[in-house]
Structures are given as C-alpha cells and as structure tokens.
Structure 1
Amino acid sequence: MTSKNIIITGTSRGIGFELVKLFSGTGHNVLALSRNEKPISNLGLNNVTTFSFDLNNPLDYKRVETFIELKFKKVDVLVNNAGTLLNKPFSQTNIKDFEQVYRTNVFGVSEMIRTCLPFMKKESHVVTISSMGGVQGSMKFPGLSAYSSSKAAVITLTELLAEEYKETGPSFNVLALGAVQTEMLEEAFPGYQAPITALEMAQYIYDFSLTGNKYYNGKLLQVSNSTP
C-alpha cells in the first residue's frame, strides 16, 4: 500500500481523534489540526504531525501551507471534520452567535480547502463532515438553527466545488452524519445515547476518504441509521 498524505481538522477528540489513529496505524502520514494539540501529541505517533490550529486565525492557514510545502509536497485527502455546535432558541441568538458558528463550520471549511487545493491532484479527495440536520427534508431540532443551517451550507458548497473542479480534480464529497456518541453530542444533548460510537463512524469515514472518490463526486451521503 502506498502511504498517503492526510490532513484532518478537529482532532482533539471524538471522530477526528479516532481518525488520526486509524490513518496512522495503516502507515499514512497525517497532519492533525486542532486548537488543542495535546491529545494527539501525547500519543507519540511517528508519522503524525500536530500543532495548535484555529480555523478563525488567518495566520494558522499560512502555517499549514508552509508545512505542506516543506513536508508533504502534496495532499491526498483532506477531512474537514472540525465544527462547533450551538444549542439555543433562535429568539435568544444574535448575529454574533451565527457569525461564530459560520466562521468555523462554513468559512473555516472553505479556507481550509482553499489552502490545500494548490497541493491536491485529480485523484485527491476532499471529505467534509456535515450533519443530517443540514439535509433538506430531514428531522430538525429546535435550538440548532445556526448549527444545522451552517451544515446545510457546506453541502451546497461541496456540490459547487465538485462542478467547478470536475475537469482537474480533486473530488469533493460530503457526509451528513446522524447521531454519534461524541463529546459534542453530550454537550448539546446531555444524557442522549447515540447508536454509533466515534470509533465506528471514524472507521466508515476512513474507508470512504481513501476509496469514495472512485465512485462519488459532488455527492451528499447520508450516514445515519435513523429515519427520516
């Protein structure tokens, strides 16, 4: 197997943390990005680089660009996993609340893609993690107006980028996840038990990131075992 260069955001816990271990364990080179780099750095994995990274800090994208230029040279897979969740009644939110969520969940995704694109080939793959809450016609929950609408935005962004880069690549796909037992879910819905663990979902995303672009481009895949 040829080792690939993988960039993952939101790696300090949950799905992102498990993804780093999966990719590293199979010999791939990983750049793990999160505001808190300690959980990954404490693992001491040889083929993993991590440093503190804030999706809202323009200078941090320059650090990523420099790292790619000096170390990776090219990017095979980008997993936009980082996200922030706000659970608050719409009437109690304000423009700053929406700005905060969109800066991470939408603007951060677009800037991360923009940073990596010059180093991606036709066979490279951009996988963005969205939510079932952002899928038209799916079940919606009160209090998630900022979060779910931001997750809807990256679904459309994925479709647009796949069209714009269909001749040159890379491929762009988006996974709308159902409930996964992560720290973020526990913070938003205390006491709720999801049917899927972070590791189980990470295993699915790992496989899809490496092979899904053979079968899909510009597609939304609903990764949820509940309906609607």
Structure 2
Amino acid sequence: MKNVIVTGASRGIGYGLIQLLAQSDCNVLAISRDQSRIKELNIETVKGMALDITLEEGFNSVVSFIEEAWEGKVDVLINNAGFLINKPFQELTKDDFMKVYDVNVFGVAQMIQTVLPFMSSDGHVVTISSMGGIQGSFKFAGLAAYSSSKGAVITLSELLAEEYKEKGPSFNVLALGAVQTEMLEEAFPGYKAPITANEMASYIKTFALEGAKFYNGKVLQVSSSTP
C-alpha cells in the first residue's frame, strides 16, 4: 500500500481524491483545517489531520504522524490546498496577496520541505496549479494574486526537479482548467465548468500514483477548454 498525503482534503477535488485513493488501496493522510466531512467518511485507511498550512508550528504533527503511523515512509505528496481572492487589481492589498501566497506558495514549500526527508527516489510530489499560471493562457480578470501564485509554484517545482534529479523524488505540476468546485462557485457565482471535481480527482489520482515513471519537472496542462 502506498502512503499518500493530500492537502485541501475537505472539499472539492481533494475530498473526492482521498476517497478514490482509499479505493486504490492507499493509506491517506487527509490534511485540512476543517475535518468534519473527512471524519464522516469513516474510512479506515484515511486519517484526517486538522492543520493550517500557513502556520509553521503545525508541521511537527505531520512529522510525528509519518514517523509513528507510516514508519517514516511517504510515497506521494499531493499539494492540492488552494486559496482564491477575486478582486480588481487596484483594490488588492498586500494582505490579500499574503493570504493567497501563504496557502498557494509558502504553504506548499513548507509541506514539501517537511515531507521530503521521508520520500524515496521513486516518490512523487504533485502540485496542483492552474491554467491561469501558464504563460500565454487565457486569464480571468480579478485573479492577479491567485494566478501569479500558481505561476510561482510551477517554477518552484521545476527548480526542485532539477535540484533533486539525482536522488529523487519526482516533482510535477498539473495546471488545471476550470473545474466545478466550491471555490470556483464562490469566486464566480453561476459559472459552469466543463469538468466536475470528481472527474478531475480521478485523473489526478492516476497521475499521482503512476506519473513519476514517465515525468519529472514537467507541467501538464489539464484542460478541455480555455481556461
């Protein structure tokens, strides 16, 4: 059984993902600030952890869990947690940018730093980005903070793939197009995406478990539309 960590696991893609991983005989650490829906699943191989990835002190709990429950071994890390602010650029404050970057960039970096010592050469770090972070792609107005943060983690992953290419693990990014999630509905009420959260979760599950055999340092655009 593979040991898989998923952040942003309480809703949307992450919530579907932890269930699909459990069905694929994986042990799952489901990280989210809100654990209520995860507990309701009552799946033996899914362990929930209440953690705010913007707070540095909470990561000690991740280390303790890996060492005690998984004997110090992590096969896959999926950085799925995300935060979005939809606001005209002129109205964005430094605090707005920091809230977005704390989750989408700094939290991702901290999680990777925490988990890396427990991953082997065939491990896989998958970071969920957005088509909004891809150069030349269609951009939603109002997402200056969000889309720029998603561009940042693309570059981060490419750099880490180079830095760890001799000893692993593999680092890859999935840049998603519009997916019908709670976050999308909150940011763009009434907008209908062509892909459901569970459909995307199914794709991410397969890529996370098998993609390290074929890719490293790559950004895959996962979008049936523009964006």
Tell me, yes or no, whether TM beats 0.5.
yes
The amino acid that maps onto 1:124 is: G
Residue matched to 2:54: 56
In structure 2, the gaps of 5 or more residues are: none
TM-score (norm 2): 0.98
Report the Cα distance in structure 2 between the residues aligned to 1:211 and 1:12, rounded to whole angstroms: 24
Instruction: Determine if the alignment matches structure 1 residue 110 to structure 2 residue 109.
Output: yes
Residue matched to 2:6: 8
1:39-73 CA distance string (max 9 Å, x none): 11111100111021101111211100111011112
Cα offset, 1:38, TM superposition? 1.0
Report the Cα distance in structure 2 between the residues aligned to 1:179 and 1:134, rounded to whole angstroms: 13
Instruction: Determine if the alignment matches structure 1 residue 122 to structure 2 residue 114.
Output: no
Report the Cα distance in structure 2 between the residues aligned to 1:28 and 1:215, rounded to whole angstroms: 21
Report the Cα distance in structure 2 between the residues aligned to 1:67 and 1:27, rounded to whole angstroms: 19
Residue matched to 1:140: 139
* 1:9-158 alignment runs, 5 A limit: 9-72=7-70, 73-158=72-157
Runs of 4+ with deviation above 2 angstroms:
none
Residue matched to 1:225: 224
SS in 1 for 2:16: helix
Report the Cα distance in structure 2 between the residues aligned to 1:32 and 1:57, rounded to whole angstroms: 17
Q: Give the aligned length.
A: 226
Report the Cα distance in structure 1 between the residues aligned to 2:102 and 2:142, rounded to whole angstroms: 18
1:113-157 CA distance string (max 9 Å, x none): 000000000000000000000000000111100000000000000
1:12-36 CA distance string (max 9 Å, x none): 1000000000011121100000000
Report the Cα distance in structure 1 between the residues aligned to 2:12 and 2:98, rounded to whole angstroms: 24
Report the Cα distance in structure 2 between the residues aligned to 1:225 and 1:31, rounded to whole angstroms: 30
Residue matched to 1:187: 186
The amino acid that maps onto 1:214 is: K
Cα offset, 1:227, TM superposition? 3.6
Cα offset, 1:177, TM superposition? 0.2
SS in 2 for 1:56: coil
The amino acid that maps onto 2:54 is: N
Report the Cα distance in structure 2 between the residues aligned to 1:202 and 1:150, rounded to whole angstroms: 22
1:147-190 CA distance string (max 9 Å, x none): 00000000000000000000000000000000000000000110
SS in 1 for 2:6: strand
**Sequence identity, in percent?**
63
Report the Cα distance in structure 1 between the residues aligned to 2:226 and 2:148, rounded to whole angstroms: 19
The amino acid that maps onto 2:211 is: G
The amino acid that maps onto 1:146 is: A
